[in-house]
Amino acid sequence: MAVRFLQVGFKPPICTVRIVRPDKKNALSFDLLRALHDTARHLMERTDLSVVLLTGTDEYFSAGMDLSDPALSTLADVSLSEQRRLLSYAPMACRAWEDLDQVTIAAIEGFCLGGGVSLTCSTDFRVMAESSYIQAPEIDYGMNMSWGTLPRLVHLVGPARTNQLIILAEKVAAREAHAWGFAQWVCEEGAALQKAMEIAEKVAAKPRAPVCMTKQTVNAVAKALDQTASHMDRDQFLLSVLNDESRERISSFLRKSNPGSEGD
């Protein structure tokens, strides 16, 4: 299956989706987010699939939101309705992955930053390589953490750890992320996808319908109130990203860094 920025491989009952945007360290542009959304919607129709794996390269998962995406720089010049439409792509992509009937497993090597954290916490399980880490630097750029991420993180690591991750914006190494509850498995470097595949094969050996029903029920109970906490975070992001302080911080970052990454 050919999709821009994604390599999608089918070996039913398992599918592997790899983010491939090496020139931007897998930074999540609007086009890539649309591709992730559309791919998840396509996979939802595949009743021959029990498990979907999501991964990046052998060196990194994702540098997070693409701050150099031209679409982001045009936000100030379009109508409010168009601003809100553009900013819906990211939360829609995360929600599409969360809503998949199949069990989803993220395999993380290297860094997983900002929007990469948002995307991976939308999956059911996370495998992190020993040397990998997560980090959410949004507040340092004057932005709120959006995409429906905060309630998902609270479910995984609790309110205090969520505040620690988002407000302090410090790197959280794999072992610590495992102790917190973000990662369910830590493996040796370079083996995240292999470990995820081992777990996928165990899931795939089970009857698909009961697995699917269990996942749906657990999510329904655990996430019943998530929308009340995140339904406005797109608009909060819009307010923050168009603020003069945020613009200056983003501009400063782009001047210092390779365009398209949130830092590593």
What confidence tens digit (pLDDT) does each residue in 159-187 have? 999 999 999 999 999 999 999 999 999 99
The answer to whether residue 200 sits within a structural domain is no
Per the structure, the count of domains in the chain is: 1
Rounded Cα gap, residues 233 and 106, in angstroms: 24
Tokens for 177, please give them. Answer: 């992320």
Q: What CATH number should be reported for the domain holding residue 88?
A: 3.90.226.10
The answer to whether residue 201 sits within a structural domain is no
Residue 156 has pLDDT above 60, yes or no: yes
Rounded Cα gap, residues 19 and 119, in angstroms: 12
CA dihedral of residues 22, 191, 120, 3 (deg, nearest 10): 40
Please report the pLDDT score of residue 255 as a whole number.
76
The answer to whether residue 225 sits within a structural domain is yes
The answer to whether residue 250 sits within a structural domain is yes
The answer to whether residue 198 sits within a structural domain is no
Residue 1 has pLDDT above 90, yes or no: no
The answer to whether residue 197 sits within a structural domain is no
The answer to whether residue 94 sits within a structural domain is yes
Which residue range is the domain that position 171 belongs to?
2-190+208-256
Rounded Cα gap, residues 129 and 173, in angstroms: 10
Beta carbons of 27 and 71 less than 8 angstroms apart = no
When the pLDDT of each residue in the chain is averaged and rounded to a whole number, the result is: 93
**65-107: pLDDT as tens digits:** 998 999 888 888 899 999 999 999 999 999 999 999 999 999 9
pTM above 0.85, yes or no: yes
**205-225: pLDDT as tens digits:** 999 999 999 999 999 999 998
The answer to whether residue 263 sits within a structural domain is no
